[in-house]
Structure 1
Amino acid sequence: MRERADLLMPFLALLLGAVVGALTSVLQTGLDFPWLALVNAVSPWLTTAFVAGALQSRLRTAVWTGLLATLVQVVAYYAVAELRGYDASVYYLVFWSLCAVVGGPVFGGVGHAWRHASPAGPGAAALPAAFLSEAVVTYWIVLGYRSSAVLFGAVAVVLAVSLGAYRHQYRPMLRWIGPALLAGLAGTAGLALLV
């Protein structure tokens, strides 16, 4: 039974990536700020890789599934955009593919670490740090979209509380939140230079 589940979980993660990518394309034309930021940012897409990795029983599979789930998001997003009559920008296709190649494996791995608490803390800290980094750098400093920054900060707090509750990871998460936040701030600042 466990072997069947191990085979099924990567396919569920890829399906999740396809659904999130397609929904992102559709919702971008129907939402307004601050909600629009949730379908126009990196950290929500990293959430898919995190969930994909958390569904896996092995770290190696979690890393690969995180990568594949984020790449499928990119493909699904641009496929749906094309079907809806929106031309794909080659620059942004490359940009989002780069985000998938770098962020997908990392967040697939930390999703696995969070669920299996091995080691405890980094998995619970990574996703809140990603949202908080994007709140500060992208939405507060670069774009000046205060309402989106507050929304992403609130999501970061909710994620920290809920992810830390799993297997009582609050204390290890607090040890990792500083390094995770520094990495997130550096990554988000680097992305801001590319856009």
Structure 2
Amino acid sequence: MQDFQIKDTYKTIEISVENILFKEKNSKFFGYAYPITSELEVKKHLDQLKIDHFSARHWCFAYQIGTENIKFRANDDGEPSNSAGMPIYGQIQSFEITNVLVVVVRYFGGVKLGVGGLISAYKITAQLTLAEANIIEKTIDKQFKITFDYKNMNKVMRIIKEKNIQIVQQKMEMNCEIQIATRKKNAKEIVAIFKSLFEIEIEEIEK
């Protein structure tokens, strides 16, 4: 029987992978992979690699961010169109991962590889780099804000404990606010429980 459960996990890399070398006709390709959650991190890593490899010719990259609203980009950085960024991005897709940046730094060795040779070299370097990564599975979480009067504290905390809900942050005064996170597949049930309670409000926090 087919499983129609909500998919609420995704795969990413646990830690950075650096300096994976592939050589082709005197050209050197260095592969790097970084776990990321924003485009700002992309710039930071690229800026650092341009310092570390200041005499390289190209710093080609691809990244993907997000689990439901996917953002991605592939950049050839001066190589012929679609000969570098897309082969790198193809490996991100092949490994079925997200929230990742893969950069391949090329030192030109004096022999032209041709478009086919470049596609192959960038693909292989990205593949070797991601093969070295520790790929982990994470849950897709939804965040909510619960607001209530202090007198209803015990009621709210009992549900949080019973349902093993993660508290992200809390403000405990006469008017209380608790920010919670729960796995996507449990979100509907959690919302229904809190909505059924008198004097307690719950709303989703858009990330």
TM-score between both structures, scaled by the size of structure 2: 0.24
- Higher relative contact order, structure no. (Cα contacts within 8 Å, ≥ 6 residues apart): 2
TM-score between both structures, scaled by the size of structure 1: 0.25
| Greater fraction of residues in helix | 1
| Greater fraction of residues in strand | 2
